[in-house]
Amino acid sequence: MRLVVDLDLCQGHAVCQDEAPGLFNVPKSGQVEIVRADPGDDLEAARTAVRYCPTQALSLVDDSPAD
Ligand code: SF4
């Protein structure tokens, strides 16, 4: 899984950083930076961040190769 942000939607609320501080960094009055796109062991926290982002700017993309 890979985290993707739509910066047209992100308004810097930092809910994502609160939910998963290892994955997101939100500068004061700025937009989110994805620190680690592959959530790995933090997948549940990543899902929570995606769910609670107030502007639905975040998504999780399954980019594992089809077998
Ligand atoms: S919670 Fe959503 S709007 Fe807020 S900083 Fe994170 S991605 Fe941006």
**Helix extents (H) in 1-67:** 15-19, 43-52
What pLDDT does 29 receive?
Answer: 92
Local confidence pLDDT in tens for the 67 residues of the chain: 999 999 999 999 999 999 999 999 999 999 999 999 999 999 999 999 999 999 999 999 998 777 6
Q: Which CATH number do you get for residue 48?
A: 3.30.70.20
Report how far apart, in Å, the C-alpha atoms of 24 and of each of 2, 4, 28, 46, 59 are.
Answer: 13, 11, 13, 9, 13
Question: CA-to-CA distance for 53 and 35, rounded, in angstroms?
Answer: 16
H/E stretch holding 60? strand 58-61
Q: From the CA of 32, give the closest atom in ligand 1.
A: 5
- The range of the structural domain enclosing residue 9 comes to 2-61
* Residue 65 confidence (pLDDT): 77
Considering its fold, how many domains does the chain have in total? Answer: 1
Domain-located, residue 67: no
Query: Is residue 66 one of the residues assigned to a domain?
Result: no
Q: How many angstroms separate the alpha carbon of residue 67 from the centre of ligand 1? A: 33
* Pairing of β 24-25 and β 33-34: antiparallel
At residue 20, the pLDDT reads 98
Whether ligand 1 lies within 6 angstroms of the CB of 46 is answered as no
